[in-house]
Every structure is written in C-alpha cells, then in structure tokens.
Amino acid sequence: MSLSIGKRILLGFVAVTLVIVALGLYALGQIGAVRDTTDAIVTRDLSVARKLDDLANRARDMGILRRNAVITAITGKRAADTEDPTLAWRRAAGETEVALTALVRSTDEFRATSISPERSAIWKRMNESALEAAAAFRQLRSGSETQLAAVAEKNIEAVETRNDDLNRTQDVFLRGIDRTRDILDEGIAAGQRGVRDIYDRSRISVGLTLAAAILLAILVTVLISRAVVRPLERVMEFAERVGSGDLSQTLDARGTDEIGRLGRSLNGMVAGLADLARTNRAATADLNAAAAEIRASAQEQAASVEEQFAAVQETAATVDEITHSGAQIGKRASEVIATAQATAQTSKAGLRAVADTARAMEAIREQAEAVAGNIVALSEKTQTIGEIITTVNDISERTHLLALNAAIEAAAAGEGGRSFAIVAAEMKLLADQAKSATAQVRSILGEIQRGINTSVMLTEEAVKRAATGKTRSDTTQRTIEEITARVEESVQTFQQIVASTNQQQLGIEQVMGALQNIRQASQQTAAGTREVESASANLTELAQALMSLAERYRH
C-alpha cells in the first residue's frame, strides 16, 4: 500500500505520541504504586504502633490497680467515692485481652497481605511475639486473679507470696510488648527499603521506556527521511540538471504519492521546455536578422538628423547672440532713459530749491536791512541816553557841592543848624549814589554802543552777502533750466532708440521661435531615431540572448 507523505508523517507522529502517552500512563501507574505502598506501610505500621503503646499503658495501669487492691485489702481503707480496685482491674484486664486479640489478628492479616517477603517474615515474627505476650498476659491475669482471691480472703501471706511472681510475669509481658515494638521498627525500616526499591525500579523502568520512546522516535524519523527526503533529493538533482540546460533526461516517477505526482509533472514540464527551446531557436534567428536590418537603417537616419540638428543649432546660437545683444541695448537704453528722467526730475527739484533759496536770500536781505535800520535807531537812542546821563551826572555833582556848602553853613550855625546839617548829609549821600549809578550806566551804555556798532557792521556784511547769494542763485537757476531742457531732449532721443530696438527684438524673437520649433523637431526626430536605434540594439541583444538561452538547453 502506497501512502502519501502527509499520511507517513502523521503515522510516525501518532506512533511517537502513543509511546509518549504509554510512558506517561506507566509513570503514573508507578507513582500510584509507590503511593499505595507508602500508604499501606504507614497505615499498618501506625495502627500496630498505637496498639502496642495502648497495651503497654494498660499493662502498667493493671499493675497499679493490682497494687492498689492489695493495699486496700491490707489496710482496709478505701475512699467512699472511688471504684473498687478489684473491679477496675478486672475491667482493664478484659479490655487488654481484647486489645491483645486484635493485635494478634492484625499481625496475622498483615503477614498474609504483606508487600514483600521481608515484610511478611517480620509480620510473622511480630505475630509470634504478640502470641507470646498474650500467653504471658493470660498467665499474669490468672496469677492476679489468684492474688486478688487471696486479698478477698485476707490471706496476706498468700498475697505476698504471689506478688513477686506476678511482678516477674508482668515484666515478661512488657518485654514481649517491647520486643514486638522492636520488630515493628524493623518492619518500618524494611517498608522504607521496599518503597525505595519500588521507586528505583519505577525510575529504571521509566528510563528504559523513555529510551525506547526515543529510539522509536529516531526510527520513525529515519523511516520518514528514507520515504520522503531521498525521493526529494532525486527530484532536486533532476531539477538542477534541468536548470543547467539538460532536457534530455526524464525522472523515474513511479508511485501515487506527492513525489510521484511531482516527478510526472516535472517530466511533462521538461518535454514542454524542449519543444519551446526548438521553436524559440528558429524564431530567434529570424528576429536577429530583422533587428540587424532595422539597426542599420536607424543609424543612417540618425546621422542625417544629427547633421540637420547641428546646422539648426549654429543658426539658433547666432540669432540668440543677436537677441541677447538687442536685449542688452534695450536694457541699457532703458537704464539711460530712467537715469535721464531721474536727472530731469532732480533738475526740476533743483530749480525749485534754487527759487526757494533766492526767495529766502531776498527775505534775508530785507530782514537784514530792517535790522540795520533798527540798530541805527537804537544807536541814536543810546546816544540820547548818554546825553541824559551826562546831565544827571552834572546835577549830582552840583547837588554834592550844594550839600557840602549846606553842611558848612550848618556847622557855622551851631546848634540851630543841626537839622539842616542832617538834611545836607542825606543830600550828599544821595548825590554820591546818583553819581555812582550814573557812572555804571555810562559804562553799560558804552558797551551797548560798541555792540551796536559791531552789529551794524555785521548786518551790512550780511546784506551784501545776501545780495551776492541772490545773484548766484539766479545764475544757478538759469544753468539748471538749460540742463533740464537738454536732458529732456536726450530722453526723447533714447525713447526713439528703445522703440526701434523693441521692434527689432520682436522680429528676432519671431525668428528665434521658428528656430526653436525647428530645433525641437530636430531633437524629437533625433531622439526618436536614437530610440529606434536603441530598440534595435536591444532587440539584437535580446535575440542573441535568446539564441544563447536556446543553446543552453540540450534535447
């Protein structure tokens, strides 16, 4: 039966998965076994240990109750609210008998269901030790009953005689319990060893099972590799030979799986490639010849177009130079016109400024003349003030002389002329003050007169300079008017030049546009020719590449 690749891989995966699941289940089972064994050991050993402890305690209690019964019988004293020691001992003896019977039965059952032979032997020894302890207990109980009967009969001698024997019998019973406990400790140690053995066996078995699973996985991997990888390698080798151009071989494509179907598909593809290579070789030869003819024709046309384009380029360059020259002439003329117009505007502004200056000069001259007249009048008035001051000075001198004479007369008059002498003194003082003030005013008027004389001279000089400035302003105004007229004539001349240049420029631009159209047409033709040549070259290269490609495939 032929399986597909997917089914083979799935089958191997399922096998490995089943082994892993079985390994997990086995490991869980071993873990459960360890847990059950541990539980059994702990439960059994713990129950027996409790029973042994209970028996030891009961034996000690029975000894105490027996001694209390003996003491009570000898002394004849007993508390009213306490139980009869004999009855208490008999009840404890019955319970101890039941506990011993249960211990013997448990050890016998555990021996039969032990987890290992070693544990079975230990349980057997424990059962024998328990039986010996039971026999010692029955002997102890019988002797104690005899002693208690002697106690009831008040036979003190018999009680004392039995007391030592009963103590020895009780020691034998307790030693039997202790021996059973020691055997139980051995059983616990054996159980621990058994658990460790089970754990070790489980670990070894799980390790072996895991190794088996790994080996199975390796085996499945090898089988899948042999069933899938090797056929794929054969297919890859065949594909590499086809890629290198070998179309003469076929692939052995037996089987119904994916690789078989792939091999048959590759065989069909190789057959188609062989037919295509034969057809391609013939078509490529025809294409190569046609491409060579197209390329030769395109090269001839390209050479002719290049010559035409070179001639148009030279003509266009010449016209372009003329255009640039005309543009520069127009630009320079426009600049000159702008400069001349600016000069004319400046001249007009200068005329206005000169006119304003002339008017200002005239106003200055008139004001200077008026100031000069005022200064002359002021000079005359200061002279008049000087004359008045001279008169005041004479009056003050005369007043001074008059006051001096009055003082002399008052002195001559004696006591009667004292009042007159005071008036004469005041008049003298006023005359002195007036004389001093007159001298100060005279000095100030002298300075004012000198300043007025200087101002008169400066004003006359300013009037002369204003007149000279007025004359020069008039001359400058006439000169600027002549320059403005000549500049306006130059502006008109340059405007005519610019108009002529613009008309010439329009004609040159039309010629340039026509040359641009011719050049663009030549460029387009040249570009088309180059594209045709490039296409033919590419076509030739493609034909040669196809020829080489067709030669690669052998069939």
pLDDT at 28: 73
Fold match between 11-213 and 270-552? Answer: no
pLDDT at 173: 85
Distance CA 145, CA 92 (A): 13
pTM above 0.85, yes or no: no
pLDDT at 1: 46
Task: For domain 270-552, give the CATH number.
Answer: 1.10.287.950
Judge contact between 403 and 395, C-beta under 8 A.
Answer: no
What 3-state class would DSSP assign to 86? helix
Retrieve residue 428's tokens: 């003298």
Shortest CA distance to 122 belongs to which of 49, 182, 172?
182
Provide mean pLDDT across the span 131-138: 88
Distance CA 102, CA 179 (A): 17
Using pLDDT thresholds of 50, 70 and 90, give the confidence band for residue 524.
confident
| 33-63 pLDDT, tens digit each | 666 667 666 677 788 888 888 888 888 888 8
pLDDT at 15: 72
CATH class of 11-213: mainly alpha
* 3-state DSSP helix/strand/coil % of the chain, to nearest 5: 95, 0, 5
pLDDT at 80: 56
What 3-state class would DSSP assign to 554? strand
Distance CA 1, CA 555 (A): 36
Q: Please give the backbone phi and psi of residue 117, each rounded to the nearest 5 degrees, phi first.
A: -60, -40
Written in H, E and C, the secondary structure of 174-235 is HHHHHHHHHHHHHHHHHHHHHHHHHHHHHHHHHHHHHHHHHHHHHHHHHHHHHHHHHHHHHH
Using pLDDT thresholds of 50, 70 and 90, give the confidence band for residue 507.
low
Share of the chain above pLDDT 90, in %: 0
pLDDT at 111: 82
What 3-state class would DSSP assign to 512? helix
Distance CA 130, CA 62 (A): 18
Distance CA 175, CA 179 (A): 6
Least confident of 310-319, 346-355, 510-519: 310-319
Judge contact between 406 and 353, C-beta under 8 A.
Answer: no
- Measure the CA angle with vertex 227, ends 221 and 232; round to 5°: 110
Written in H, E and C, the secondary structure of 433-452 is HHHHHHHHHHHHHHHHHHHH
Judge contact between 11 and 3, C-beta under 8 A.
Answer: yes
Distance CA 21, CA 248 (A): 52
Distance CA 505, CA 334 (A): 14
Provide mean pLDDT across the span 270-288: 67
Residue 361 has pLDDT above 80, yes or no: no
* Residue ranges per structural domain of the chain: 11-213, 270-552
| 371-384 pLDDT, tens digit each | 767 777 777 777 77
Most confident of 65-69, 95-99, 366-370: 95-99
Residue type, 339: T
Q: Please give the backbone phi and psi of residue 468, each rounded to the nearest 5 degrees, phi first.
A: -65, -45
Mean pLDDT (the chain) is: 74
360-369's contacts with Cβ under 8 Å and 24+ in sequence apart are 361/466, 361/467, 361/469, 361/470, 361/473, 362/466, 362/470, 364/462, 364/466, 365/463, 365/466, 365/467, 365/470, 368/459, 368/462, 368/463, 368/466, 369/459, 369/463
Judge contact between 411 and 417, C-beta under 8 A.
Answer: yes
Q: Which residue has tokens 């008139």? A: 366
382-387's contacts with Cβ under 8 Å and 24+ in sequence apart are 382/445, 382/448, 382/449, 382/452, 383/449, 385/441, 385/445, 386/442, 386/445, 386/449
CA 380 to chain centre: 102
Distance CA 552, CA 247 (A): 10
